[in-house]
Amino acid sequence: MSTTLMALKPFTIFTYFTLFSILTISCSCFHPKRLNNVSKIQSNSDWSPAGATWYGSPSGAGSDGGACGYTNAVDQPPFSSLIAAAGPSLFKSGKGCGACYQVKCTGNKACSGKPVRVVITDSCPGGPCLSESAHFDLSGTSFGAMAISGQADQLRNAGVLQVQYKRVECNYPGVKLTFHVDSGSNSNYFAALVEYEDGDGDLNRVDLKQALDSESWQPMQQSWGAVWKLDSGSSLVAPFSLKLTGESGQTVVANGVIPAGWQPGKTYRSVINFKV
Does the structure show a pLDDT above 80 at 50? Answer: yes
The residues pairing with 227 across neighbouring beta strands, listed in sequence order, are: 193, 224
CA dihedral 32, 34, 36, 41 (to 10 degrees): -170
- Cβ neighbours of residue 241 under 8 Å, at least 6 residues apart? 208, 209, 212, 253, 254, 255, 256, 257
Strands 217-219 and 116-123: unpaired
Q: How many residues does the chain have?
A: 276
Residue 215 neighbours by CB under 8 Å, 6+ apart: 209
State the Cα torsion 209-215-219-225 to the nearest 10°. 30
Give the whole-angstrom CA distance, residue 51 versus residue 71.
Answer: 25
48-168: CATH, from 3.30.160.20, 3.40.50.2000, 1.20.120.1750, 2.40.40.10:
2.40.40.10
Rounded to an integer, the average pLDDT of 169-185 is 96
Instruction: Spell out the domain ranges in the chain.
Output: 48-168, 178-269
Model pLDDT, residue 45 = 64
pLDDT band at 62 (very low <50, low <70, confident <90, very high): confident
Q: Alpha-carbon distance 259 to 237, whole Å?
A: 10
CATH code for the domain defined by 178-269:
2.60.40.760
Residue 152 has pLDDT above 50, yes or no: yes
Contacts of 266 (CB under 8 A, 6+ apart): 180, 181
φ, ψ of residue 11 to 5 degrees: the values are -65, -40
The model carries a pTM of: 0.80
Q: Which amino acid belongs to residue 228? A: W
- Average pLDDT (113-130) is 91
Residue pLDDT, tens place only, 211-246: 987 889 999 999 999 999 999 888 999 999 999 999
Q: Label residue 129 by pLDDT band (50, 70, 90).
A: confident
Burial (0-12, 13-18, 19+ Cβ within 10 Å), 151: middle
| Distance of alpha carbon 153 from alpha carbon 120, whole angstroms | 23
CB 193 within 8 A of CB 121: no
Same fold yes or no, 48-168 and 178-269: no
229 CB-near residues (< 8 Å, 6+ apart): 182, 189, 190, 191, 220, 221, 222, 223
How many helical (H) and strand (E) elements, i.e. helices and strands, does the chain have?
6, 15
Q: Is the pLDDT of residue 56 over 90?
A: no
| DSSP H or E stretch at residue 116 | strand 116-123
